[in-house]
Chains A and B, each alone.
Chain A
Amino acid sequence: MDSDDDFISNMSSEEDMLPDDSDNDMSNYEDYGFDDEPDAYSDSQKETGHGKKVAYDFSFKVYQPSDIQKQQDDLINEVNMILDISKEEAAILLRYFRWNKERLIEDYMDRPGQVLDAAGLSQSAAGPPKIQVIPGFVCDICCEDEPGLESFALKCGHRYCVDCYRHYLSQKIREEGEAARIQCPSEGCTLIIDARSLDLLVPQDLTDRYHELLHRTYVEDKETLKWCPAPDCQNAVECAVKKKDLDRVVPTVSCLCGHRFCFGCILNDHQPAPCELVKKWLKKCADDSETANWISANTKECPKCNSTIEKNGGCNHMTCRKCKHEFCWMCMGLWSEHGTSWYNCNRYEEKSGMEARDAQARSRVSLERYLHYYNRYANHEQSARLDKDIFHKTEKKMVQLQKESGMSWIEVQYLNSASQALQTCRQTLMWTYAFAFYLARNNLTEIFEDNQKDLEMAVEALSEMFERPITELADPKLKVEIMDKTTYCNKRRVILLEDTAQNLAEGKWTFNVEFSGSAANGGPSTRR
């Protein structure tokens, strides 16, 4: 199947399915795509974009808090005008429909009563919310009945004293972080409190928090929007890549704050490895199953007290340091039974002994394979950190370099670009090793390994130049070399990523672990 058609076939197949959330999101996306001006999408990245529409391309857009607010306001205003309902009600309805305007309008036109009920809006028309004093009122929550007690009720008429209402709302907002779906305090009443009533009841600091929480639900409710996970960053990123696409694409997005992350799993950029493999890899590295693997490959247990023993040389006559049990390392049998053939265990060729040896050998091979990839992965991770440290030091040196060589600030920026390149390339390299660990050999893996090797060599060369003392850096020849190498590294990285991404999109990789999507079977790619 042509990869271009892939997305299209996906979209059309959605229509066969029951109208569920994903369906709506797709229509949202389409709508968005057509309504906005064509250049609204910033091209994702140099390396995957080039403006061409290819299978592994995906676009994304970064929104700042004001953009997000405006989008919500626009939608609310639109629904407010089309359906002739108040803005508060429009907002509640939109939240109920997870901001799917089309479905809201359609459903509302068909059966307004049911929609309002379901969203927690009862139909009776009433004036603006107000606090009242009603003679003979007893608050059902605190049981106070003193005359002059101020009370409040939503349209449902469940009336409670203002103090209880406040207490209830502040607990919901402050402790439970609830905003869009706070119901009337009455048992069984599903009416949702609207923003205007809330503003009337609670103090300013709480309304601020409330609006912040509301603001958040907009992003959290939409599958195409995600918060940038960088600390203190308030931007959100829009990307149309769905969960089910994640076996085909690694959607790395970069926020305006500079943070690059995967839209699929919110982790730091992990191209070229797909999210699922990343998850597996991280779990594998975090698990102490590998420790166990090592233990099983390198140690045996004392047959008597089960202490773990690593044989560090010497003969097969073992004496457990803990329990003083004497046994043969080969057959694990009692040493005393060996009679006189001390250094030649005659039970060695027994079946059980051979099985035990095979198991140990297999364990050792798989451990070595894992360690091969893990060491390289960890090495790049560490090197990226060290490169960063060096850069911080170099930053100071850049100032020094300006003074000594008479270069301008702009002219020493090549060091900055070199450092950036080193870090992104190492990040990529790091994940190529995790990716390679799960890759089953076929003729594509060779190309992949060549690309990996090229990038690695370029990165190491650049890294070496980067670490040179400041006096050498002032040499214009080295400067040109560094700049060239930087460009080369970036180019090699793009080549590697394009190659892996394309094969991923076309389902050409085979993996040695279960991988969702047809890729694991190695057969021709048909989705679903």
Chain B
Amino acid sequence: MSSKIIDSLVSSAKNGSAEAFGELYEIYSRDMFRFAYYYLGSSALAEDCVSECVCIAYEKIGSLRKASAFKSWLFKILHNCCNSALREKIRSDGNVEYSALTDLSSESEDINEKLSLKQALSLLSDEDREIVILHYCQGYTSKEIGEILGIKDATVRSKILRSGEKLRKFLQK
């Protein structure tokens, strides 16, 4: 991605141009929705979170100092929106059941059967799930993931290995 193009789009977006912001958004829109969808397990919730993220990002883009950080910044906001959605679910339900957020009811619960991706993802912790999606689904590096989640590079690398192993085992059961 040409940094000059990004710089100019960010600059226009900071001046209030919704179209420029839209161009920036379009680059990542699919990634954002996929991330939220796999993380929350529900396309309706994912749609809400991406929508909320976009509003917040557009509103706050004035505070983005480095245009080159747009992507991590945007995903950081999305990560926060998704986790807020999960926290609100915990608060309103008392306990959160990840499966309650997903459409798992029609899937087989026989443990011996090979798990679907959704089932396998639901067995991971929130953080493992985020890392798995950012890395294995979207190909983000440990550095990018570290910026988004606010954790050390080295920690991300080991978490990528660990959570990848777990997911692989769940899927091949």
B is a partner of A: no
Interface residues of A (CB under 8 A from B): none
